[in-house]
Structure 1
């Protein structure tokens, strides 16, 4: 009986090892086969094309290019330097994604996030943040919206009346100065 138990235990160990090896080989083979299947591009081509979505179920948006964002940020930073001010300039797209940030020499660390939040606020509301500050008097809970900052210094950028970006400036001694520099950045984007 003891010999039978040892044999059974040994058989179980051997069987378990064989099963594990077979499963491992099968998994490896399946992964290898999937990774190098020659007809994979054919399957990708037979998937539903993006154009299958009805036009009525989509909308098109316009976005500021990275080059335009960089030009605007440079212009805002230059205007601040000419006034002897140290600022950070942020340009965000319509969705609040940062496109460009320029942090001037010697500017405080808090200005980076403040500039981004001002830009986001201006783009979200399609209004200068100095105007939005006035709305807080009648609706103080606006300031509780995540990611926003209701201080002067943010201006929207529009194309054909539709907001496409926001420019935020932070670091000058007042929101009015920050907004002046943000407007200088937006001015380089206007057509002649």
Structure 2
């Protein structure tokens, strides 16, 4: 008989503890549920972007991927007419590559050189053949990362502001590279 009372007492303790834990967890769950209900409103408020004050922003023009691709293809077509194997790159105003095409048979160095020429042309809003002349008075210009002061880069402008650069590399001379880059600029007309 006493043995039954011990079990009964243990059972009551275990049952009581389990019940207390369930009540505590239930209360926590209810608290969590009410907190979760208020979270979407708080998240929505936090996710709403802050509006910039008037005068703190500006707009800029950018080439579309389609236009950049058309320009790059015009470059390859012009080079092919003269049996030249080149690569072409079109970068945006910030120097980010929009399109890069390696022509059939173009050398392994040409894609990287084309990107650097395009970047250089848009950075200074000038053909890279003109920029090479500046090295005579300022030779450390060539040390600027990402640039290449060789003929073959041409800027693209809209409303007298640079919006892109076209770089070409792989022809036997920079003059030819730049001639093909100008064919890309002309395509954008």
Per the normalisation by structure 1, the TM-score is: 0.77
Provide the residue aligned with 1:90 in structure 2: 89
The structural deviation recorded for 1:117 is 0.0
Provide the residue aligned with 1:183 in structure 2: 182
Q: Distance in 2 between matches of 1:40 and 1:87?
A: 56
The structural deviation recorded for 1:39 is 5.1
The structural deviation recorded for 1:147 is 0.2
The structural deviation recorded for 1:88 is 0.1
The structural deviation recorded for 1:43 is 2.8
**Is the partner of 1:167 in helix, strand or coil?**
strand
The structural deviation recorded for 1:166 is 0.2
Q: Distance in 1 between matches of 2:41 and 2:91?
A: 39
**Is the partner of 1:122 in helix, strand or coil?**
helix
Q: Distance in 2 between matches of 1:42 and 1:61?
A: 35
Q: Distance in 1 between matches of 2:63 and 2:93?
A: 8
Provide the residue aligned with 2:45 in structure 1: 46
**Is the partner of 2:94 in helix, strand or coil?**
coil
In the alignment of these two chains, the number of paired residues is: 157
**Is the partner of 1:178 in helix, strand or coil?**
helix
Provide the residue aligned with 1:114 in structure 2: 113
Q: Distance in 2 between matches of 1:183 and 1:39?
A: 59
**Change beyond 3 A, Cα 1:120–1:39:** farther
Provide the residue aligned with 2:132 in structure 1: 133
Deviating above 2 A after TM superposition, structure 1's stretches of 4 or more consecutive aligned residues are 37-45, 47-51
The structural deviation recorded for 1:58 is 1.5
**Is the partner of 1:55 in helix, strand or coil?**
coil
Q: Give 1:27-66 correspondences, 5 Å limit.
A: 37=36, 40-47=39-46, 49-50=48-49, 52-66=51-65
- Larger Rg over CA atoms: 2
Q: Deviations over 1:130-154 (max 9, x none)?
A: 0000000111100000000000000
**Change beyond 3 A, Cα 1:89–1:52:** same
Q: Distance in 2 between matches of 1:179 and 1:71?
A: 17
Q: Distance in 1 between matches of 2:134 and 2:153?
A: 15
Task: Flag structure 2 segments of 5+ consecutive residues without an equivalent.
Answer: 1-27
Task: Flag structure 1 segments of 5+ consecutive residues without an equivalent.
Answer: 1-28
Provide the residue aligned with 1:145 in structure 2: 144
**Is the partner of 1:59 in helix, strand or coil?**
coil
**Is the partner of 1:115 in helix, strand or coil?**
helix
